[in-house]
Structures are given as C-alpha cells and as structure tokens.
Structure 1
Amino acid sequence: MLKGVAASPGIAIGKVFLYTKKFAEINTRNIDESMVKDEIAKFENAIKLTKEQIEKIKEKTEREFGKDKAEIFEAHLMLANDPELYDSVINMIKNEYVTADNAVNHVIEQHASMMESLDDKYLKERAVDLRDVGSRIINNLLGIVNVNLSELDEDVIIIAKDLTPSDTATMKKDKVLGFATDVGGRTSHTAIMARSLEIPAVVGTGNVTQNVAGGEIAIVDGNEGIVIINPSDDILKEYEDKLNKYKIRIEKLKELKDLPAVTTDGKQSMLVANIGTPKDVEGALKNGAEGIGLFRTEFLYMNRNDFPSEEEQFEAYKYVAEKMNGKPVTIRTLDIGGDKKLPYLNMPDEMNPFLGYRAIRL
C-alpha cells in the first residue's frame, strides 16, 4: 500500500498503464561552421511543428473542457513564440557551434531554473510549462514519438512520474479510470484536471512508478490518498463493494443537486461548498452550490519556500468571487500550525500545538 495526496475523490479499480516517456539523448558534440544553417533550419521547422501541435491541443481542450482549461495552452504558445528564447537558441547555434537540440535544452533549462529560483509562485509554476514546451521542441528535432494517450484502447489506471498539461489534454478520457503519480500536490495541474474530469487520483506517492511494470491490477482510492498494487482477493472484494456503494451514492446525489434545499417542515436553507483551491469552484458550481461556505486559504502557502505576495492572494480570491457571480463566498483566514507546518515559518515545539501557535493566534 502506498500513501500519497488525495487529489480527486472516488475509487478506481483496473489494469495499470505505466506511462513513461522516451529520454531524449541530447547531441553534445560540436558541429562544423558549414552545418550551422542546417541546424537553424531544423530548429525553425521544429518550432513551427511545435506551435501547430500546441494549437491543436488548445482547440481540442477548449472544445471538450471550455476556454478556461485551454488557457494554459495559450501560455504554451506564448512560450513557443518567445523572441528571447528563439534568439538565445539561434545565437548559441551560431556562436558556440552546437546542435539545435543541445541549444534548446541549454536555453530552456537555463530559463526554467531561473524561474524556479524566483519568489513568485506563478512564475515558479511556469517552469513546468516551459520544460513541457522545451521537451516537445526537442522531441520534434530528434523525431521522438512518445506513447499517445489519445490512443488508449482499454480502460486503465494511468501511473506516471507526473502528467503534463499536454498529457492530460490529449488522453482518451473515457478510457482513464484513475491517475496515480510520483510527484505533485493538491494544487498541481494533474490534481486540478483530475477533479475537473471527476477521475479518482492520488498524487505525490513518491515512488508508485517503481512498484509497477504495467498490466498489474491496482486500486486508486482518491478519498483516502491510497494506491494498492496487486491487492489480495479480500481487499479487492472490499474495494469493489466500496466502489459500488460510492457509485450509487453519487447517482443519488446527482438527482438532488438542482432541487431547492428545503427541510421537510418547509424551511429553506442554503447549500454551499467547501473548496481548497480556486479551481475547485468549478466543481462546486457544477454540483449546484449556492455559495462557498468555506474557502480554505492554506493552498497559497503550501508547497513553496516563502509567503505569497498580496497580489497573488488577491488574484486567487478575485477568481473565486468572479466565478460565483454574486453568490456568497466565505474566505477563512490562514489555518497553519498543528499538523500543517510551513518550511519557511519557524514555530516553537509545543506539547499541544492545536492549542498553541495556530491559525489566527499566529
């Protein structure tokens, strides 16, 4: 049994599909001056192909999930069109006589590392997008074709080190029972997409990929953050029963979601949702929430090395308020301390931290 972050609720039982990517072997050799033009032409062709691929993914995502979900690929297109990155690669090929793939790898990694060193969480996260675009350019340069998740022909549980925006956008959704990844947190792209697709997911397991070869039976419990590989007959039966009960419960709740919240003696109530990230508001609205009863703000402070800026907090709260379109939103003050510690906030050891330095008492 492996523990991770319960990223998207639900239970999935099925065959493992181990999603691995071919490792691009970068050509580190130097080239002759006579080859510079050819390498630049290869790079320009790869950039053109990359932009065409991203545009198709963006259109598909917008068609299937709406404009909001496709915005990330607008960012990918902007990165692919970035004149600074383009010029840096061209200059490196011209001045250092290196192959196009070597130049792209160097420039992308240099810029991504710089982004990761910044205090701004938004820019830190853009490093993932930049590497995603960079990998696509390099693969196009080297002719590497990875497994296409849009061609899945049976129901599977996808197990991967991580899933990029491109991976989740192109996968065949009706064949994916659940996700489990080595890395990621509740606010990672994989987690957000899993909740949006209502697919059970556990992320941040550390090493789930090292425990499978593909084809095993696995259980992904997105309610508890548990992944079980090759379960015993008893555990399998237990989870099959849980899954059936969960499905029945969800179907019953779906029938009720658009009905007014009225007690048997005729008193009207408001049915509101609790959310942990801005993107969770979409699920709340989809399920008929009349407001946000509790917006947990810890997500802004977790999985980072410093405090969020005022602007970052404002944008998160603004996003939810605008999505709720006048419906009430209650934002909870930061609830840190006790079992929720921040690496950049030194707090004293206490006999009972829940009664000490916690939340508003900080």
Structure 2
Amino acid sequence: MTFALHGIPVSKGIAIGKAVLISRAALEVSHYLIEAGKEEAEAQKLMDAFEQVRLELAQLRQGLPKDAPQEMAAFLDVHGMILADPALAQKPLKLIRTQRLNAAWALTTELNDLLEQFAEIEDAYLKERANDIRQVAERVLKALNLQKKDGIDDSDFLSPGDVGADAIIVAHDIAPHDMLRFKERTFTGFVTDLGGKTSHTAIVARSMEIPAVVGVRHASEMIRHGDWLVIDGEHGVVVVAPDEQLLSEYRLLQTKAIEETRKLQELKHSRTATADNVAIELLANIELPEDATQAVELGAIGVGLFRSEFLFMDRHQAMPDEEKQYQEYRRVVDLMHGLPV
C-alpha cells in the first residue's frame, strides 16, 4: 500500500531507492540501587565512561578524512565540549553518592531533566541542541554498557547488498560523524525520526548534498527494510511503496533536476547581471584556506569573508602565532590566483 510521510526538508534533491533500516540500538538502562559503601566505585565507573567517550571523540576528530565536510570537525568539538562540561556529570555523581542510584540510572535521570528544559526553549536553534546532549549522553551509556562502538558500525546495518538498488537510510537518529558512512556505501538519501533544520546532522547532509528529510516521526517503525522509497528533499515528503506511475513521475523529476544542475555548472563562470545590466558579483565565505579551491571551482570571483576564528578551533595543535596566521592568509591569497580576498 502506498502512503506518504511528512517531515522537515533539510537537504534538497530527489532520492529513489530501497530502505535500509539502521537498528536504533536502544539502550537498556537498568535501574537498581547500589550497595552501601560502593558509591565511590560506582561514581568512578561513570567517570571512566566519560573518559572513554572523550578518547573516542578525540580519535574521531584526529582521524577525519581529508574530504570530510569542514563542519564535521566543529561538531565533534561541540560534542567534546558538552562532554567536558562539569554540569553533565555533577548531578549524576550526586545521585550516585546520595541516593545510591546506579551510574546509568543517574545519567539518564539527568538527561531527561535536561531534555525537558530544552523542550521549553522557544528558539529553534537552541532547542535543537538537545539532540547533541542526548547523543553525547547515549555514547556514555554505551560505554557504561560496554558497547564499545564508535557510532553506527557495520553490525547496525541490515545488509544493503540484499536490497539490490540504491539504498536509503532510515533511522531513529544519526549522529553527525556517522554521516561519513555515506561516503563508504551507495546510500542516496536518508530519513530520520528526529532532527530539525538546524540540527548538526542536517547541516552535514546539506554540505554533502544528500537528499534528506528529518523529523519524520515513527518513520523507522512504519517503514520496513526493503520498501521502495522516494525522498523529496525539497518538500519534506517521503513516499513509501510508490506505485509504478509515481515512480515514473519522480524519476522524471529527478532526471530534470540533474539536467538543471548540469546546465548551471556550465554557467557558473558566466557574467552575472540583472535584467537592466547591473553586474552582480558573488564572493565566497570560507572557513579554512582549503575552501578557497572550491570557491574558485564554483565560480566565486573572490572571498568576501574568511572566518579566521576557525584557525583557532583545532585543539590538537598549538594556537597559531603571528607567523602561522600569516602563512595561512597567504595560502588563501595564493589559492585565489589574484582574485580579491
């Protein structure tokens, strides 16, 4: 039976393929009181889990491939800062020491309190940060449960090889760094139960140009592995089990979109002007010197904003001194080949 689900469009494009469900890997959190006198040992278990996740995030940050979206490093840094915030551990440690809650119970108690607070925030961007806190807390819970996986690993996938077509990920949620798995497989889009326009996962999807719809409540429960899906990333629609007529219509729209993109690529270096012949100049915003290369390739006639604060955000290197900053600025100028910066 054909039916449509509606969510939040976050990355344009049309994707057609069969669903590959990623297990939610729901964390079974046991609730029990620890024996009197063992409070400090339980507190140490929690701190050890925090340290394990800190090391995991540091390894992910250090091992990012060169072609990873620039936003990925910043998002991993955000998760690292959330983990390092003493407030995340203070209340669970107090619950362990005063009420003798086991570590996982104490952490989920604090997580639920934080999520309730974020749910009351009106600002959409700040409200989305609840997902970051949840993802960090879930990594700690996995460490407590000795589930030593770095995000989604191969055991979480139902084999796309059995699908026999371009596959579309369907998941409850996907952490930003897990998006890198798209590069290793033939996925053409994704659908998640959670998320919003300003979620980190959505931002990474846009930078990778992957059609995506998020916030499709209960999608991972209603869609079955192997179902034919159509993602309309422009309108936030997911069509499940489309009939042949619908498939043909969306394939036609997909072909037209690809052709329009190809034509735009041919025009990217053309002079841009209004109908009354006023020249329009497009300059790029860049975060790192390497971005200048892509700016030139995409037809920018210069750099309008170099967000130099990103030079200071790599915590695995020393803070850039005057000479280092000069060399980085010079790299941008050289890569722009005489275009204004």
Same fold (TM over 0.5): yes
- 1:234 Cα deviation from its structure 2 partner: 2.3
Contact 1:42 1:100 in 2 (8 A): yes
Question: Using CA pairs below 8 Å that are at least 6 residues apart, which structure has the higher relative contact order?
Answer: 2
Structure 1 residue 155 displacement after superposition: 4.2
1-structure distance, mates of 2:10, 2:149: 26
TM-score normalized with structure 2 length: 0.70
Contact 2:10–2:233 (CA<8 Å) still a contact in 1? yes
Q: Could you tell me which amino acid in structure 2 is paired with residue 217 of structure 1?
A: W
Look up the match of 1:125. 128
Does residue 224 in structure 1 map to residue 224 in structure 2? Answer: no
Distance 2:182 2:52 in 1: 20
The alpha-carbon distance between structure 1 residues 234 and 84, as it changes in their structure 2 partners (threshold 3 A), is: closer
- 2:49/2:140 contact within 8 Å kept: yes
Report if the CA contact (8 A) 2:170-2:190 is conserved: yes
1:32-181 equivalence runs, <5 A: 32-61=35-64, 63-118=66-121, 123-144=126-147, 149=152, 151=154, 155-169=166-180, 171-172=182-183, 174-181=185-192
Q: Check conservation: 2:152, 2:178, Cα contact below 8 A.
A: yes
**Cα offset, 1:52, TM superposition:** 1.5
Check the 8 A contact 1:4/1:226 in 2, yes or no.
Answer: yes
Residues 57 and 170 in structure 1, CA contact (< 8 A), matched pair in contact too: no
Q: 1:325 aligns with which of 301, 304, 309?
A: 304
Size of the aligned set, in residue pairs, is 286
Larger CA deviation: 183-192 vs 213-222: 183-192
Q: Alpha carbons of 1:107 and 1:161: their partners in 2 closer, same or farther (altered >3 Å)?
A: same
Aligned residue for 1:22, secondary structure, equals coil
Corresponding residue for residue 330 of structure 2 = none
Instruction: Please state how far the C-alpha of 1:228 moved relative to its aligned partner.
Output: 1.4
Aligned to 2:14: 11
Decide which of 280, 286, 309 is 1:270's aligned counterpart. 280
Identify unmatched segments of 5+ residues in structure 1: 274-281, 292-322, 328-362
**Which string of whole-angstrom CA distances, capped at 9 and with x for unpartnered residues, describes residues 97-125 of structure 1?**
12111111122322343344345655433
CA–CA distance in 1 between the matches of 2:164 and 2:143? 25
Which residue is 2:196 aligned to? 185
Indicate yes or no: 2:217 matched with 1:206.
Answer: yes
Distance 1:23 1:286 in 2: 45
Tell me: CA distance 1:258–1:53, structure 2 relative to 1, closer, same or farther (3 Å): farther
Partners of 1:222 and 1:147 in 2: CA distance? 28
- Superposition TM-score, scaled by structure 1 size: 0.67
After superposition, the Cα gap between the structure-2 partners of 1:63 and 1:40, relative to the gap in structure 1 and judged at 3 Å, is farther
RMSD: 3.7
Residue in 2 aligned with 1:27?
30
- Percent identity, aligned pairs only? 29
Alignment deviations for residues 61-95 of structure 1 (CA, whole Å, 9 cap, x no partner): 57433544321221211221222333333232222
Q: Does structure 1 residue 245 correspond to structure 2 residue 248?
A: no
